[in-house]
Amino acid sequence: MKIIYPQIIRTFARYNTHIEMKEIQNKVISLFSGAGGLDIGFEKAGFKVAVAIEVDSACCETLRANKPSLPIINKSITDVTGDEILSTANLKVGEAALVIGGPPCQSFSLAGLRKGLEDERGKLLFEFVRVVRETLPVGFVLENVKGLTNWDKGRALNLLIEELQKPIYYNGKEYKYNIAPPKVLDAVNYGAPQYRERLILVGNRIGKEYQYPKPQKEPYRTVWDAIGNLPEPERPSEVALRVSSCIKDRIEKYGY
């Protein structure tokens, strides 16, 4: 599940109040939805997820269990057209408030092999671009790992921004996305009980400047603050123990 940045998302919601409501429906197209972690943050900020696209069937079952009425497309994003997304969401081109999502990050992560754009998963960044261009939302929010900023001296990130900034022509009009400078934010500074740095990329096609919210001051929220009222856990599974061991090894090797 992706980390949620409530303060960042609420700021975007306030920014959206300056848009004429006849232009948007406050509906979101969610890509690479996973179990819905990023979506929850946007819903808490007042948006409504109109459709979720996710390739993992187990994640889709989780989404269906928690949100029975949510339209879900259980396919690889490479097999989904903008028309199918809009039809499933009951939207037309230009009506969505946002396209949101965190494309697979393993190709750029410091904890991985860092094959970047040489990895098929790394190329999925540009499926996000394609959906934005085909559905023409008012804005978009993309989330990814910090490693995207320095892979091949920033080539992937620069190419991503370049593609997102290209003009789009629809019904005789030209549209172009204004993109805020990408920024690496740490979730601990925005209410999450975890040090977790993530690159955030925000853009809109209505000429609005976006200001990232200021980090909150310490004390930070602790894990106990977040889950201290939960019942005692069961014995960890073999999978959980294996994953925790990998995390420990990563911390020792990379320092995070």
106 versus 176: the higher-pLDDT residue is: 176
At a CB cut-off of 8 Å and minimum separation 6, what does 256 contact?
Answer: 110, 195, 197, 250
Question: What's the pTM value of the predicted model, to 2 decimals?
Answer: 0.78
* pLDDT over 80 (residue 152): no
pLDDT-based confidence at 156, cuts 50/70/90?
A: confident
Q: pLDDT tens across 67-118, in order?
A: 999 999 999 999 999 999 999 999 999 999 999 998 874 544 444 433 444 5
Least confident of 15-29, 120-134, 172-186: 15-29
Mean pLDDT of 55-76: 95
Nearest in space to 15 (alpha carbons), one of 212, 210, 180, 215: 210
What are the pLDDT digits (tens) for 226-245?
999 999 888 888 888 888 88
Under the banding of pLDDT at 50, 70 and 90, the label for residue 203 is very high
CB 71 within 8 A of CB 50: yes
Q: Output the pLDDT for position 128.
A: 93
Q: Residues 179-186: contacts with CB within 8 Å, 24+ apart?
A: 179/203, 180/209, 180/210, 180/211, 180/212, 182/149, 182/157, 183/212, 184/146, 184/149, 185/5, 185/8, 185/212, 185/215, 186/215
- The winner for highest mean pLDDT among 17-26, 44-53, 105-114, 148-157 is 44-53
Reported as a single tens digit per residue, the pLDDT across 1-24 is: 344 444 445 544 544 444 444 445
H or E element: which one contains 226? helix 223-227
pLDDT at 81 (0 to 100): 97
Query: What is the mean pLDDT of the segment spanning 19-44?
Result: 82
Taking the domains of the chain in order of start, what are their residue ranges?
6-222
Q: Is 59 a catalytic residue?
A: no
Given the residues 59, 60, 105, 246, select the one marked as catalytic.
105
Indicate the CATH number for domain 6-222.
3.40.50.150
Mean of per-residue pLDDT scores for the chain: 83
DSSP result, 140-184: EEEEEEGGGGTGGGGHHHHHHHHHHHS-EEETTEEE--EEPPPEE
